[in-house]
Amino acid sequence: ALNPFATSRHGIASQMSIDLFMSWNPTQDRKKNFPLELRAKKGLKNQILSVLKDLLPEKAHA
């Protein structure tokens, strides 16, 4: 299935982010990787938010 955002300039990156986000498993190796996991999750969240912001019309930024 084609992603509706695939033609936007962040289409590929957003699809990769979503795939990564969906496949991210917080219970796997939780104790061992907790700080790294938190940093990765925060970075991914910021990446997704910036992609979503770029997809919104300019009026939404005001």
What's the token pair of residue 36?
């790294």
Arithmetic mean of pLDDT over the chain: 65
Domain definitions of the chain by residue range: 11-51
Using alpha carbons, select from 7, 37, 14, 42 the residue that is nearest to residue 25. Answer: 37
pLDDT for 48 equals: 80
pLDDT for 43 equals: 79
pLDDT for 27 equals: 60
pLDDT for 37 equals: 67
Stretches where the chain sits below pLDDT 70 are 1-37, 57-62
Q: How far is it, in rounded angstroms, from Cα 10 to Cα 51?
A: 7
